[in-house]
Structure 1
Amino acid sequence: MAIHTPKTREDLARLLSPMRLTAEVFEHAVVAGAAESRTYSKGAPKSAPNMTRWFRTVEYLHDELMLLKLDWKRSDPQNLPYFSQAYLNLGLITSSGDEFTGVAWGTPSTKNPKGSAFAKRVDENGLSALIPHQTTDGGEIDVKYLWILLYTERDGQVYLELSRPKSMAGKQIDSWLDRIIFPPFDLALGAFTFDENAGDDEGFGFTIARR
């Protein structure tokens, strides 16, 4: 498993650019999701903040990807919001993560068990199921490389990563092929906590973990 831990915004951009993505896409989605989760009082159902955080995160992720104009498409197989980039054969799904999300020393998973629509897109080889995904404009895209945006909030910071799954155990992911771990997003500052003072020769961290 390869783990990337970019130390500066430039490092993160170098990782995301080949995927036709930008850090701003995820920043805006994180802020919107966190703000939405705070609109409830203690009288709301316990699941309401997390559910609406996901709703708003997906909505803003959709809007930001479309604004990029880099050929990202949207589909909803079995009501699962799914983003695809045909030229690169990429797929992207968003999910809340567990306590190991966004840290290099743990193996993360989705916070909650996932249904068949999610599981169908992760096979035992870590590749998405090679089923054509029909986009909202009627086109079809074959996705080969599935990435999942995982996020979780702890102590006023949102931890997130963009990672490529290897396999699932039951209804949750248990191993990964690649992980791009973002710096924590400080909700008070409204920004990723990059180490902007890192030397030019340091670059981003890169770890090879045992499979």
Structure 2
Amino acid sequence: MILEAGNWSEGERKLEALGLDVSSIHDALLYGHAERETYTSFDAPGAGEYARWTRQIRRLSEVYVPQGWTRINPDNQPTIVHPSNRHSLVVASGNVFTGVRYATPSTKNPRGRSIRTAVDNNAALVDLAELEPALAGLKETWMLLSFHSPDGKIYSEVSLPNSMSGEFISGWHHRILMPPVDPQGGEADARDEEPPSYDFAVVRK
């Protein structure tokens, strides 16, 4: 299921049910972007993207822990847990299909044991919920995915993973698409149209 957050849409109501909001998510994304901008080619490779990720986690923790969420780090995977203990949120970078309706995103980087366990658990809970609605209240692990487009805009979504291809998350039961944000000027226009397709062979390097 794909929902869009914004203008009190169904997606935004689902986000509120999770205890989250677009404003705080955008704030965390911009916080991470500002930190990333302080890095140059003279820093160690990957340092800037790591800084972006960890600052996003820090900002979300600063916003939601005072509201009763709990910050934990299973297997060194930063996670914030809702006060109800029914669901949690993990932050990760996504690929170019993050935040758009016309394609299915994947995580940019391979995920570790704690995420695989969480995804397997999500998949089991989704299957059980179809048989017995009462089981839907068990704990779920949601993911905040973000992609920083070459045009400068930040695309993101809060989604519930349910399958992996190798070490990458590739399947989602629910996707809540955030309005894209432009670090230079607030919310940006969405990528509404599917990019054109071309007939050529792709060879992995």
Question: Which has more strand, going by share of residues?
Answer: 1
Q: Is the 8 A contact 1:185 1:193 kept in 2?
A: yes
Identity of aligned residues (%): 33
Q: Is the 8 A contact 2:122 2:141 kept in 1?
A: no
Q: Is the 8 A contact 1:159 1:184 kept in 2?
A: yes
The letter of the residue matching 1:126 is A
The letter of the residue matching 1:144 is K
TM superposition shift of 1:9: 3.5
Q: Is the 8 A contact 2:100 2:177 kept in 1?
A: yes
Q: Is the 8 A contact 1:127 1:146 kept in 2?
A: no
Mark the CA change 1:125 to 1:35 in structure 2 (over 3 Å): closer, same or farther. Answer: closer
TM superposition shift of 1:193: 3.2
User: What does the per-residue CA deviation read over 1:64-84, in whole Å, with 9 as the maximum and x for residues that have no partner?
Assistant: 1123x2x31111111111111
For structure 2, the 5+ residue unaligned runs are 126-136, 191-205
For structure 1, the 5+ residue unaligned runs are 129-141, 196-211
Distance 2:55 2:74 in 1: 19
- Which residue is equivalent to 1:52? 51
- Which residue is equivalent to 2:117? 120
Distance 1:157 1:5 in 2: 17
TM-score normalised by structure 1 residue count: 0.77
- Which residue is equivalent to 1:205? none
- Which residue is equivalent to 1:101? 98
- Which residue is equivalent to 1:3? 2
Q: CA RMSD in A?
A: 2.1
The letter of the residue matching 1:180 is I
SS of equivalent residue, structure 1 residue 156: coil
Higher relative contact order (CA 8 A, sep 6+): 1
- Residue 168 (structure 2) aligned to one of 169, 172, 185: 172
TM-score normalised by structure 2 residue count: 0.79
Q: Is the 8 A contact 1:86 1:143 kept in 2?
A: no
Question: Which has more helix, going by share of residues?
Answer: 2
- Which residue is equivalent to 1:144? 139
